[in-house]
Amino acid sequence: MSDFAQIPMQFIGPVKLSGPVINGDFEVPLATYETPLWPSVNRGARVSMNCDGIQCTVVDERMTRSVLFETPDATAAVQTLGKIKADFPALQKIVEGTSRFANLIDLHSQIAGNLLFLRFEFTTGDAAGHNMCTQAAEALMNYIFKTHPELKYESISGNYCSDKKATAINGILGRGKYVVAELTIPEKICRRYLKTTPEKIVQLNIRKNLIGTMLAGGLRSANAHFSNMLLGFYLATGQDAANIVEGSQGLTMAEERYGNLYFSVTLPNLIVGTIGNGKGLDFVLENMQRMGLDETREPGENSRRLACLCAATVLCGELSLLAAQTNPGELMDAHRKLERKHE
Amino acid sequence: MSDFAQIPMQFIGPVKLSGPVINGDFEVPLATYETPLWPSVNRGARVSMNCDGIQCTVVDERMTRSVLFETPDATAAVQTLGKIKADFPALQKIVEGTSRFANLIDLHSQIAGNLLFLRFEFTTGDAAGHNMCTQAAEALMNYIFKTHPELKYESISGNYCSDKKATAINGILGRGKYVVAELTIPEKICRRYLKTTPEKIVQLNIRKNLIGTMLAGGLRSANAHFSNMLLGFYLATGQDAANIVEGSQGLTMAEERYGNLYFSVTLPNLIVGTIGNGKGLDFVLENMQRMGLDETREPGENSRRLACLCAATVLCGELSLLAAQTNPGELMDAHRKLERKHE
Amino acid sequence: MSDFAQIPMQFIGPVKLSGPVINGDFEVPLATYETPLWPSVNRGARVSMNCDGIQCTVVDERMTRSVLFETPDATAAVQTLGKIKADFPALQKIVEGTSRFANLIDLHSQIAGNLLFLRFEFTTGDAAGHNMCTQAAEALMNYIFKTHPELKYESISGNYCSDKKATAINGILGRGKYVVAELTIPEKICRRYLKTTPEKIVQLNIRKNLIGTMLAGGLRSANAHFSNMLLGFYLATGQDAANIVEGSQGLTMAEERYGNLYFSVTLPNLIVGTIGNGKGLDFVLENMQRMGLDETREPGENSRRLACLCAATVLCGELSLLAAQTNPGELMDAHRKLERKHE
Amino acid sequence: MSDFAQIPMQFIGPVKLSGPVINGDFEVPLATYETPLWPSVNRGARVSMNCDGIQCTVVDERMTRSVLFETPDATAAVQTLGKIKADFPALQKIVEGTSRFANLIDLHSQIAGNLLFLRFEFTTGDAAGHNMCTQAAEALMNYIFKTHPELKYESISGNYCSDKKATAINGILGRGKYVVAELTIPEKICRRYLKTTPEKIVQLNIRKNLIGTMLAGGLRSANAHFSNMLLGFYLATGQDAANIVEGSQGLTMAEERYGNLYFSVTLPNLIVGTIGNGKGLDFVLENMQRMGLDETREPGENSRRLACLCAATVLCGELSLLAAQTNPGELMDAHRKLERKHE
């Protein structure tokens, strides 16, 4: 009996990256049972090598945990909430005591009847931060109980976080790394490597990703198959891949600009890190090393670089599938072996 | 350089199952980097062994693919749609020609402006059916183009399927196996193994899973952490784990009945199979064998048994985490090592 | 003390309509406190008069009521559901006995734990059908209890209908009249009457209605302000205006075609009728008459004409506001008095 | 031809209110074509008179407008956003110059590709604030263009506000008055006036409002029929009733406490005011006067009192309908005349 599930893994690329966080050509690993994903993402990577690179921007980063209290009534909840907010510096101090890397940066709340939900928001250095946040939230809860004996414990997690569930809050308030990856593709590159035109990709993106998902009752999920690349990348880099649930909630944009194709993916919820559970396995260490993420950098920098590599990979796969789907002939003939399963 | 991502894997259980599809005690494999998941799910399994078993019901099964056409205008779209629906038997015939196991069972549609989305719904034997459906959809598209030259191709997938995205349609119209797993837990078993009471779990489920998720802007996702168990089970059994995105959209119910705890998980979108991509790997074959899924049965029966095993596993993990979260002392002391990371 | 709330009302138009249901130029009434809505919708109406008319298509029509039963367990629920579906002709007979105009046309269901939701779907002639459906659902429940004593009553409405709430189901399964209104606007008409270009409206629609709403966590609501026109039209025609909640969940499409603007609104959930509550008031009768809806026609025809008039009105207001918003100068200068409040 | 739509209107009540904002017994007006709403809400009002009153808490208040810019790319967008946020005091100054009552209190943002959405959040005194916010947003846009010439105008409203659409953002970030109304109902009052038990209402609320809406793909809408009361109240008090779209997105909670019923409604998005469009009509002035809202108070106080009256009215109607639906006999016999149409 095996002690490991062995998921087929390959490096794809190189992918060309640019922007304030990371620059250069990188190979990235993808672990998946759906092996046609590899050549598909590779096609996108080849496009990036023939352009000015995929520009990656980290818009925000935070990890969250929501706790849930019962209060006497909504009036009391509002009063207590006011005091807790006024005591924010003390809460920050509590959090600092729980970890060298955890910082409390914001606090959001919701009052429903006599229930009080507090959503604590932290930076967590290079860790994805699940554990760090739970520990910090526990310490915060203990402190709040001491200062507010009128509160009753309901849960260390009130689902207002929210972790690994299809919700709107993570995109709106932030959870994980919020990364935008952008690529401008000259028309001739589009034709040569993707066998399509900017115009066709723009139209497909509107009709399928924006309108189609909307009609399906989609929630902040205007893309074709972010989840496939996220799964492969998360597994290959030791991430908690259940976080592809919120990770998949992102946006693909495609616009024609002076005849060329502007193509971007916006991923507000990449829950990734370079340290923590899963990161000590040999193949993960090797993979991190091959992407240059084993170097000592400022806290948080390696995880931001990782998030950019992830977003660029998502862009490559998304671009390639959309291109394939613009072309019925391609899909139904040669490329169907590659693309068929990817969505 | 490894050619495989090696995900830590263990069998948990046995879990006791009952119901019309599968009966008996089974061990189930979970592959995950979040290894505290194992003892947590195991606790739920132990509870099942001390009750009458987790009763699993398969409510429905179908796999889907939506295609997207451009029509001249909405009036034409309605006319064409009427003809396509009237031609349903011919469509079924087309599908039969593409695979021994594919059957077209239903067809839903959406007209938006002059766009026509058709959502084909198939049974796919023991396969999850991604490929089978895409092939069938291609054949259907080809046939429809011949009979309706007024239509223009837009996409072989219009995101109205919808695959691996957070949408409402899959829960409402069905995609994958729709399984309900139910367990009645006597109060003393609840106290002994879960260190909590039925009342506490009922209240937590309402406030966290139902109200908390709703406040977070959740979409058909009233549960604590279905995604964790789904990821582990899918990886260990060769499934396309990107489908945990829709798989995680399900409901946990908890009610007090005569002092005991009625606890159920409703999982409308389990995209799983016993044949297809990923199923030929040695460790997957071994795992299937250990669950008795290597036997020859009626087409579809093995995959339904698999879906029930999956749902029962989800129930075990969901129950265990909720129990832990009802108890601040437990969480913050001994069990936090086990549970902390699971959500 | 007044016995009536007096809402300012004006006729706007004429609006030019075409398509299989209704043709000609019509004035339509709008009752609203937000009187700048009138000139705004009027601008859109003027555009329609200078084009080939707003083509309106009725895609579907049905009214719904969901009932909720408790069953022993999910296995029993599946069995009972199977029997109820097999008994569909008898259910239809029951419904026919409740009203001359009610017909049961479909049935959808959902099983959650041991709960069984049945969503009955009816045609209701020229009535919006709230009451007719509730009466029919009561009769169906009574019949089902007789034939299935294992069921327990939970509610005559299980919120799976769903009435006047922001959900995905109505758009996916249908509720009310499903109408698409389409207009092609030559570029010079666009410039002359709307002071903008097709290109600008297309871009704004994508960025605001599709992307902006998606980022806001919107649910099937890719439009600027359907609700404003719906409110005004519903109040002026005696409709239950609380149904603007689901009515507002629709899609605006804008595409450039050969330099001209294709503009459409898709409204899947117009809950409107020409008979029933509110329709007997003098001003409503006058308004109906002025729109030619007092004539005797085949059952359902007047209400379909009404729905098309409503959809065309929505198109006029949507077009006008988007045009205004493309132009910062216009907005901030002369037209702001008109448009400012409309969204 | 009438210049007014005359909507039937009645006062219901008195309703007993308590809490920090407003205390006493009040009659409230409801204008609606669905006149059975009156006796139904009246029943809830009678319950309140026999209890300690409906305690109303204003949790938050703000009105919003989102503007939309095009930026060169996401990297530039992040930089610009950082500068705009750092310039917050200057933005506040700009807003103060546009109205005596407008105050900028917060700013949220979203970057999607190279698009920058800014959601400005204001207090607006006693006005609902649609116009005040648009004027302030225009002034802010003008200022931002001067200081950030790299930005291009896209829209004065980017649908990230969001106004009168079914989205998650308003509940999460706030829009309008956020009010919780709570009532504890002794069991015997429950039986006497509502002909039901606390237990039955609790169970129905869970199964219908929480689970049923969730299954319908609902978005923050766990209630039976908030929209009916909101429509009636908004029309009778000169509000922009299209805002019932977001207003209807709220939560009903019901819990048994020591045998009694705790019943609350949480309404995060009441867009109401005592001044502004529609408030100058004679019948509105009379209605406001009868509710004591014509008195001179601190800015904002009258509108908060109005919001509490609205929330209490919603509670009365919600309670009454749920009670009726717990009882199949009641529904199908005497009370069906009253309740049938209310949802």
Please write the tens of the pLDDT for every residue from A160-212.
Answer: 999 999 999 999 999 999 999 999 999 999 999 999 999 999 999 999 999 99
Nearest CA in chain C to A268: C215
**Which phi and psi angles does A106 have, rounded to 5°?**
-160, 170
Q: Is residue A238 part of a domain?
A: yes
D217 touches chain B (CB under 8 A): yes
A167: chain B residues, CB-CB within 8 Å: 213, 216-219, 221
D293 in helix, strand or coil?
coil
Q: To the nearest whole number, what is the mean pLDDT of chain A?
A: 95
Q: What is the pLDDT of residues C171-206, one digit of tens each?
A: 999 999 999 999 999 999 999 999 999 999 999 999
- Residue C137 and residue C118: Cα distance in Å, rounded? 10
Asked if pLDDT for residue B268 goes beyond 90, the answer is yes
Instruction: State the pLDDT at residue D338.
Output: 46
Q: Tell me if residue D176 falls in helix, strand or coil.
A: strand
Are the CB atoms for D56 and D310 separated by under 8 Å?
A: no
Q: What digits encode the pLDDT tens for the residues C22-76?
A: 999 999 999 999 999 999 999 999 999 999 999 999 999 999 999 999 999 999 9
**Closest Cα in chain A, distance from residue B162 (Å):** 7
How far D337 CA sits from the closest chain A CA (Å)? 31
For chain B, the chains sharing at least 3 beta-carbon pairs closer than 8 angstroms are A, C, D
CB contact under 8 A, D6 and C4: yes
The percentage of residues in chain C with a pLDDT greater than 70, rounded to a whole number, is 95
**Are residue A54 and residue A136 in the same domain, yes or no?**
no
Task: CATH number of the domain at B304, please.
Answer: 3.90.770.10
Using the 3D structure, point to which of D110, D125, D155 is the last residue of a domain: D155
Backbone angles phi, psi at A113, to 5 degrees: 55, -125
Is C206 within 8 Å of A206 when comparing Cβ atoms? yes
Neighbouring chains of C at 3+ CB pairs under 8 Å are: A, B, D
Largest CA distance in chain C: 69
Report the CATH number at residue A105.
3.30.70.420
Confidence of residue C332 (pLDDT cuts 50, 70, 90): low
* The predicted structure's pLDDT at residue B332: 54
Rounded distance, CA A215 to CA A218, Å? 7
* In the predicted structure, residue B331 carries a pLDDT above the cut 80: no
Which residue in chain A is spatially nearest to D77 when comparing CA positions?
Answer: A59
Mean pLDDT over A247-271 rounds to 98
Confidence of residue A330 (pLDDT cuts 50, 70, 90): low
Q: Is A18 on the interface with D (CB under 8 A)?
A: no
Cβ contact, residue pair C10, D3, below 8 Å? yes
Residue C283 domain flag: yes
Q: Are residues A54 and A68 in the same domain?
A: no
pLDDT at C343 over 90: no
The pLDDT tens digits of the residues spanning C66-111 come to: 999 999 999 999 999 999 999 999 999 999 999 999 999 999 999 9
Q: What is the set of active-site residues of B? A: 34, 240, 335
* C168 occurs within a structural domain: no
Decide if pLDDT at C207 tops 90.
Answer: yes
Is residue D252 less than 8 Å (CB to CB) from chain C? no
Residue D332 has pLDDT above 70, yes or no: no
Please tell me the total count of domains within chain D: 2
**Sign of the dihedral through C-alpha D149, D153, D158, D161:** positive
Contact of D89 with D104, CB cutoff 8 Å: no
Token digits of residue C57: 């298509």
Selected residue of B66, B75, B118 to mutate for chain C interface (largest C Cβ count, 10 A): B75
pLDDT band at A217 (very low <50, low <70, confident <90, very high): very high
Residues 6+ apart with CB under 8 A from A146: none
In this structure, are A248 and A266 located in the same domain? Answer: yes
Which residues in chain D are contacts of A78 at CB distance < 8 A?
57-59
Q: For residue C111, which residues of chain B lie inside 8 Å, CB to CB?
A: 57, 59, 178, 180, 266
The pLDDT mean for chain D works out to 95
DSSP C115: E
pLDDT at site A329: 65
Q: Write the CA distances from B167 to A224, B120, B160, B249, D236, integer angstroms.
A: 13, 17, 9, 9, 38
- Cα A70–chain centre separation: 32
Of B59, B78, B182, the CB nearest to C57: B78
pTM here is: 0.97
**% chain C with pLDDT above 90:** 94
Q: Show the domain range for D102.
A: 62-155
D42-67 exposure pattern, b = at least 16 Cβ within 10 A, e = fewer: bbbbbbbeebebbbbbbbbbbbbbbb
Give per-residue pLDDT as tens, B1-55: 459 999 999 999 999 999 999 999 999 999 999 999 999 999 999 999 999 999 9
The H or E element spanning position D247 is helix D244-247
What is the average pLDDT across A1-18?
A: 92
Please check whether residue D59 touches B, CB under 8 A: no
Q: What is the mean pLDDT of residues B179-197?
A: 98
The pLDDT of residue B204 is above 60: yes
Report whether pLDDT(D220) > 60. yes
Kindly tell me if the per-residue pLDDT of D87 is higher than 80: yes
pLDDT at A266 exceeding the cut of 50: yes
Instruction: Kindly state whether C285 is in contact with chain B, defined as any CB-CB distance less than 8 angstroms.
Output: no
C269 touches chain B (CB under 8 A): no
Whether D341 has a pLDDT exceeding 50, the answer reads no
Query: How far apart are the C-alpha atoms of B84 and B91, rounded to whole Å?
Result: 8
Q: What is the mean pLDDT of residues D255-270?
A: 98
State the pLDDT at residue C334. Answer: 41
Mean pLDDT of B87-100: 97
CA A156 to chain centre: 24
**pLDDT on residue B1:** 42
| Mean pLDDT, residues C155-162 taken together | 97
Judge if B273 and B221 occupy the same domain.
yes
| Residue B185 and residue B37 in one domain | yes
**C-beta atoms of D4 and C3 within 8 A:** no
> What pLDDT does A333 receive?
54
Residue C321 lies in a domain: yes
Catalytic residues of A: 34, 240, 335
pLDDT over 90 at C342, yes or no: no
- Residues D146 and D278 occupy one common structural domain: no
Whether C167 maps to a domain, the answer reads no
What is the band of A336 on the pLDDT scale with cuts at 50, 70, 90?
very low
What is the pLDDT, as a whole number, of residue B333?
54
Query: Would you please indicate which residues of C are annotated as catalytic (active-site) residues?
Result: 34, 240, 335
Q: Domain check: are C102 and C132 in the same one?
A: yes
Q: Which of residues 120-179 of C touch B (CB under 8 A)?
A: 167-169, 172-173, 178
By Cβ distance, the residue of C210, C220, C253 closest to A217 is: C220
Question: For C32-73, where are the E strands, in sequence order?
Answer: 54-70
Q: Is D329 on the interface with A (CB under 8 A)?
A: no
Q: Are residues D203 and D321 in the same domain?
A: yes
Q: Are residues D210 and D229 in the same domain?
A: yes
> Residue C266: its chain B contacts at CB < 8 A?
74, 111-113
Minimum distance, in Å, between the CA of residue A61 and any CA atom of chain C: 18
Quick check: C206 and A206 in contact, CB under 8 A?
yes
Indicate the pLDDT class of residue C328, thresholds 50, 70 and 90.
confident
Residue that finishes a domain, picked among B155, B184, B210: B155
- Indicate whether B308 belongs to any domain: yes
Q: How much is the ipTM here? A: 0.96
- pLDDT-derived band at C333 (thresholds 50, 70, 90) equals low
Confirm or reject contact between B217 and chain C (CB < 8 A).
yes
The full 3-state SS of chain A, as one line of letters, equals: CCCEEEEEEEEEEEEEEECCCCCEEEEEEEECCCCCHHHHHHHHHHHHHCCCCEEEEEEEEEEEEEEEEECCCHHHHHHHHHHHHHCHHHHHHHHHCCCCCCEEEEEEEEEECCEEEEEEEEECCCECCHHHHHHHHHHHHHHHHHHCCCCEEEECCCCCCCCCCCCCHHHHHCCEEEEEEEEEECHHHHHHHHCCCHHHHHHHHHHHHHHHHHHCCCCCCECCCHHHHHHHHHHHCCCCHHHHHHHCCCEEEEEEECCEEEEEEEEEEECCCCECCCCCCHHHHHHHHHCCCCCCCCCCHHHHHHHHHHHHHHHHHHHHHHHHHCCHHHHHCCCHHHHHHHC
Nearest chain A Cα distance for residue B89, angstroms: 24
One domain for residues C181 and C271: yes
- Rounded to whole angstroms, how far apart are CA atoms C67 and C50? 48
For residues D2 and C219, the model is more confident at: C219
Domain membership flag for residue D170: no
Would the CB atoms of D211 and C112 count as touching at under 8 Å?
A: yes
Shortest Cα distance from B34 to chain A (angstroms)? 7
Q: Which residue from D167, D213, D281 is facing C221, i.e. has the nearest CB?
A: D167
Q: Quick check: B258 contacting D, CB < 8 Å?
A: no
Could you report the per-residue pLDDT of C222-255, keeping only the tens digit for each?
Answer: 999 999 999 999 999 999 999 999 999 999 999 9
Q: Which residues of D touch B219 (CB under 8 A)?
A: 217, 219
Same structural domain for residues C258 and C186? yes
C-alpha C141/C-alpha C146 separation (Å) is 9
A110, A56: one domain: no
Helix ranges (DSSP H) in C238-339: 244-247, 282-290, 301-325, 328-332, 336-339
Interface test with C, best of B21, B81, B111, B184 (most C CBs within 10 A): B111
Q: Which chain C residue is nearest to residue D232, measuring alpha carbons?
A: C242
Q: What is the mean pLDDT of chain C?
A: 95
Of A2, A248, A282, the CB nearest to B165: A248
Q: Last residue of a domain, which of D155, D188, D217?
A: D155
The model's confidence at residue C157, banded by pLDDT at 50, 70 and 90, is: very high
